[in-house]
Amino acid sequence: MTAPADRPQRWNRLLELLADAGRLTVEDASERLGVSAATIRRDFTALADQQLATRTHGGIVAGAVAYDLPARYRGSRDDAKQRIAEHAAALVDPAEVVALNGGTTTTAVARAIAGRADLPTSADHELTIVTNALNIAAELVLRPHLRTICLGGMARRESYELHGPLAALALAELRLDTLILGVGAISAEGGAQCRHLDEAGINAEMVRRARRVIAVATADKLTRTALARICPIESISTLVIDRHADATALTAIRDAGVEVHLV
């Protein structure tokens, strides 16, 4: 039995191991610290409760620690959104340069990408993430098996997204393989849309720079409209959306040449 007084030292050691590896299993941590699996499970749960790590099945992965996120960004309890995130993450090639804009769905996708067990660990072949979302960058920078690039610019409080001339200048120097695009609304007629003109400008530049655009949206986004258009529907390669989406609206999107994945 490990004495309670040992707990702070044990947690510090777990965080050191997590910083080095990016992920830990119960078995590995138990063996390396010489304590029972039950103790490690309690430690993992405590670290997750303090937002020092993210709990996964059988282990933990590194998580954001620098600030207190609003509840909607701390982790999705929306089954549809989680299915969308995991499916979109699985579409990413581990050798790609992947861009993500801000939002709760793209945040869930970023976590799902970071949690993939097949990501390369070599610095010469690491997956590169480009984002204009401060919360995504702050979380992924803790993952040693990822290279994280955060665009500069002015920050929007509501979405943590950076926008403006500095972000546009940074994007002009980058090549993107895949963009995971979160939207405020999407339709065959209106394309991908968002609420704010400044965010739309940076998102549109991401679309222009990307070889492939994967839009991620819950079914309710098909019934909405938003102020600013990001791009026409033809600029989107794939739409990942939950299975409750309106069939008629999806038919129109498919007719425009978009590959639709229902999850």
Using H for helix, E for strand and C for coil, what is the string for 3-21? CHHHHHHHHHHHHHHHHHH
Token pair recorded at residue 72 = 């909607």
pTM: 0.76
Q: What is the pLDDT of residue 16?
A: 77
Dist. CA 241–CA 222, nearest whole Å: 10
Summarised one tens digit per residue, pLDDT across range 44-100 is 998 887 667 888 888 998 765 444 455 555 555 578 999 999 999 999 999 899 999
Tell me the average pLDDT across 11-33: 86
Summarize the confidence of residues 175-186 as an average pLDDT. 98
Q: Each residue of 94-124: pLDDT tens digit?
A: 989 999 999 999 999 998 898 887 887 766 6
Domains of the chain: 4-62 (1.10.10.10), 71-262 (3.40.50.1360)
| CA atoms of 212 and 238, how far apart (whole Å) | 8
Please, is 224 exposed, middle or buried when counting C-beta atoms within 10 Å of its C-beta (0-12, 13-18, 19+)? middle
Backbone torsions φ then ψ of 238, nearest 5 degrees: -140, 140
Confidence at 4, pLDDT banded by 50, 70, 90: very low
User: According to the model, what pLDDT value does residue 1 have?
Assistant: 42
Residue 60 to residue 139: CA distance in whole angstroms: 14
Query: CA 175, CA 98: separation in Å to the nearest integer?
Result: 9
Query: Taking a C-beta distance cutoff of 8 angstroms, is the pair 64, 41 a contact?
Result: no
Neighbour-count burial of 197, counting CB atoms closer than 10 A to its CB (0-12 exposed, 13-18 middle, 19+ buried): exposed
Average pLDDT, the chain: 88
State the pLDDT at residue 223. 93
State the Cα–Cα distance between residues 35 and 157, nearest whole angstrom: 43
Look at strands 259-262 and 53-56 and give their pairing. unpaired
Closest by Cα among 129, 122, 124, 177 to 145: 122
